[in-house]
Amino acid sequence: QVQVVESGGGSVQAGGSLRLSCAASGYTGSKYSMGWFRQAPGKEREGVAAIYTGDGSTYYAASVKGRFTISQDNAKNTVNLQMNNLKPEDTAMYYCAHRGGSWYMASPPRSEVQYNFWGQGTQVTVSS
């Protein structure tokens, strides 16, 4: 069983930055995908960014491209999401999800159903 834990959420003013981290324990393989999703009150959960550690390929939703950066820290076995120039519409609960094994598509998995294990979420609040 893989356990996924997010950290780094908080409150920030518009234009500010936050860094989210995601650690997955219980997985021993070297290749996996990690995705970040978010859900705002009254809205459906949406994919934000994803990374496949096998080749470093990344995916970003159009709404965050150029502002968010997803990266892997092999030394700590974590995936980070650097969020810059935050906007009030980025306010949401952010979830990290893990999918073990190889991924053979050009872009990492971006759909919820493609991930197996989920964290409890971390709140990000951006005030105007």
Give phi and psi for 89, each to the nearest 5: -70, -5
pLDDT digits (tens, 9 = 90+) for 14-26: 999 999 999 999 9
Average pLDDT taken over every residue of the chain: 95
pLDDT of residue 74: 78
Under 8 Å between Cβ of 44 and 92:
no
pLDDT of residue 44: 96
- For Cα atoms 55, 49, 8, give the angle at the middle one, nearest 5 degrees: 110
pLDDT of residue 12: 98
The structure tokens 């999703």 sit at 37
pLDDT at 30 over 90: no
- Of 118, 77, 69, 75, the C-alpha closest to 96 is 118
86 falls in which pLDDT band (50, 70, 90)?
Answer: very high
